Amino acid sequence: MIDTVLATLAIACPAAVVYSYLGYPLLLFLAAGLCQSARDARFIVGKADRRHAPLGADGSRLPEVAVVISAYNEERHISARIVNLLAQDYPADRLRIYIGSDGSRDRTGELLCGVSDPRLRAFDFAQNRGKASVLNDLVARTSESVLVFSDANTHFESDAIRRLVACFDDPAVGCVSGELRLRSAAGDNQDGLYWRVEQVLKFFESRIGAALGANGAIYAIRRELWQPLAADTICDDFCVAMNVAAQRRRNVYEPAAWAVEETPDSIGAEYARRVRIGIGNFQALVRHPEYLLRTSAATRFAYLSHKVLRWIAPHLVIAGLAAAAALWWRAGFDLRAVWGAVTLAQAAALGSAGILYAFSEARARSGARLPGLLSIPAYLFALNFAFLVASWRYARGDYSGSWRRTAR
């Protein structure tokens, strides 16, 4: 009986990880193709005209928009951010910008309050309470029908808001996430190929009506779907968007609405950020069962496959490796070599990824980077180690530093 359980763990745990990273994308592409074929068939049979004037093509149809930003110690970026938003290609009489300084210890509040443009509503909160509390306060002060959320260090393309808003022409859409393009000193995103793969997954998840969460740098929701956040919420963007999905409205991804942020060259430079997000992931998983119980079937499929399995991937890897090692020790002579090979292969893969990660950090200190393909296992090692640490800290209730500002 014990050997059966161990064998199941040794096979199922790594198989679940492989499914999440490789099998799920293949199933997703297939499902997206079937959904698109079904839409085409309905169009042909129904003889409907799919062409329509998008929301925003006629200026009179553009809704009022509130851009909402919580800022902490952002004196380096805040002035440029305000200029960027005021320069948006959107009617001035339908755009308001709500920015709250969350007890900043630098000149963020002073710079905010020094802007006289009537489109800006600046709030210099004296106490540092965390991003979720500031967002709750700012949203409570809005009356606009569309809320656009962003960060203080983000730069919108000039038509970003207009493109986000255009997606709300479909009444089933409740949340729209734009595309964040990361830039480093080397000119490209340090997550490289992995980040681009994630963007592809977002696109196809959106096609099946299962876009997950949102990109905190650039996303929008209908104000009527806003639900106040718990004060200690860490992944506010994910929870806001999934709250929309739990109300059975669609989350969509609009890559034509894009923004830019700077990112560190080093994988390790974002370790604290990954741990913070990881704690927020486990917080959302435990605190919000409705993301699995009240969302659409497509959203549940994507949530389990793309998010939950990846959050627990390091635990699955450890469980699978431990089970294989136990079978190596327990098995008879005929199976010992098999389980020994499985154990050594998994250990070698983990060790190689760890070495590549250490090598990438060493090269980053000298201004060099790993080749694209080699950076993937290094990035995955860092990502999964951060998830492992995050799960331990969440279980202990250790959130200290979770809201600390990082390079992004």
State how far the Cα of 345 lies from the Cα of 406, in Å rounded to an integer: 36
The amino acid at residue 3 is D
**404 Cβ neighbours under 8 A, 6+ residues apart:** 272, 276
Token output for 339: 């389980």
State how far the Cα of 9 lies from the Cα of 4, in Å rounded to an integer: 9
Give kind and range of the element (H or E) at residue 65: strand 65-71
**Angle at Cα 66 formed by Cα 61 and Cα 69, nearest 5°?**
150
Give kind and range of the element (H or E) at residue 210: none
Token output for 192: 């490289």
Helices (H) and strands (E) in the chain, counts: 15, 8
Q: Which of 17-26, 105-114, 324-333, 359-368 is least confident? A: 359-368
- pLDDT at res. 176: 97
Can you tell me the mean pLDDT for 92-100? 96
**Residue pair 213/241 in contact by the 8 Å Cβ criterion:** yes
Can you tell me the mean pLDDT for 211-226? 94
DSSP state of 369: -
Confidence tier at 185 by pLDDT (50, 70, 90): low
Q: Which of 105-109, 114-118, 127-131, 357-361 is least confident? A: 357-361
State how far the Cα of 96 lies from the Cα of 13, in Å rounded to an integer: 49
Tell me what the pLDDT averaged over the chain comes to.
88
Which of the pair, 229 or 186, is modelled with greater confidence? 229
Confidence tier at 400 by pLDDT (50, 70, 90): low
Q: Which of 162-166, 167-171, 265-269 is least confident? A: 265-269
- pLDDT at res. 193: 64
What are the beta bridge partners of residue 261?
182
pTM score of the predicted model: 0.87
The amino acid at residue 304 is L
Confidence tier at 190 by pLDDT (50, 70, 90): very low
Can you tell me the mean pLDDT for 232-248? 96
Can you tell me the mean pLDDT for 330-351? 83
- pLDDT at res. 199: 86
Answer whether residue 187 shows pLDDT above 90: no
Q: What is the pLDDT of residues 50-70, one digit of tens each?
A: 544 455 545 557 999 999 999
Answer whether residue 18 shows pLDDT above 50: yes
Place of tokens 């409570």: 140
Q: How many CB atoms lie within 10 A of CB 297?
A: 10
The amino acid at residue 191 is D
State how far the Cα of 18 lies from the Cα of 313, in Å rounded to an integer: 9
Confidence tier at 269 by pLDDT (50, 70, 90): low
Can you tell me the mean pLDDT for 147-154? 96
Answer whether residue 313 shows pLDDT above 70: yes
Q: Region of 202 please: left (phi>0), alpha (psi -120 to 50) or beta.
A: alpha
Answer whether residue 175 shows pLDDT above 70: yes
CA distances from 252 to 86, 257, 289 (A): 25, 12, 21
Q: Which of 13-27, 114-128, 329-343, 385-399 is least confident? A: 329-343
Q: Computed over its alpha carbons, how large is the radius of gyration of the chain? A: 23
**Residue pair 107/83 in contact by the 8 Å Cβ criterion:** no
Per-residue DSSP letters for 312-350? THHHHHHHHHHHHHHHHHHS-HHHHHHHHHHHHHHHHHH
Confidence tier at 100 by pLDDT (50, 70, 90): very high
Can you tell me the mean pLDDT for 91-109? 95
- pLDDT at res. 333: 60
Please measure the distance between the N-terminal and C-terminal CA atoms of the chain and give it in whole angstroms. Answer: 49
Per-residue DSSP letters for 106-157? SSHHHHHHT---TTEEEEEESS---HHHHHHHHHHT---SEEEEE-TT-EE-
- pLDDT at res. 405: 53
Exposure of 3 in the CB half-sphere (CA atoms within 13 A)? 9
Answer whether residue 49 shows pLDDT above 80: no
Can you tell me the mean pLDDT for 356-373? 74
Token output for 81: 């951010």
3-class DSSP assignment, residue 100: strand
Which of the pair, 319 or 274, is modelled with greater confidence? 319
Q: What percent of the chain has pLDDT over 70?
A: 87
- pLDDT at res. 338: 85
Can you tell me the mean pLDDT for 223-228? 97
For each of the domains in the chain, give its residue range(s) and CATH number, in order of start. Answer: 1-47+302-408 (no CATH), 59-263 (3.90.550.10)
**Residue pair 330/315 in contact by the 8 Å Cβ criterion:** no
- pLDDT at res. 40: 77
Which of the pair, 389 or 2, is modelled with greater confidence? 389
Which of the pair, 111 or 364, is modelled with greater confidence? 111
Answer whether residue 75 shows pLDDT above 70: yes
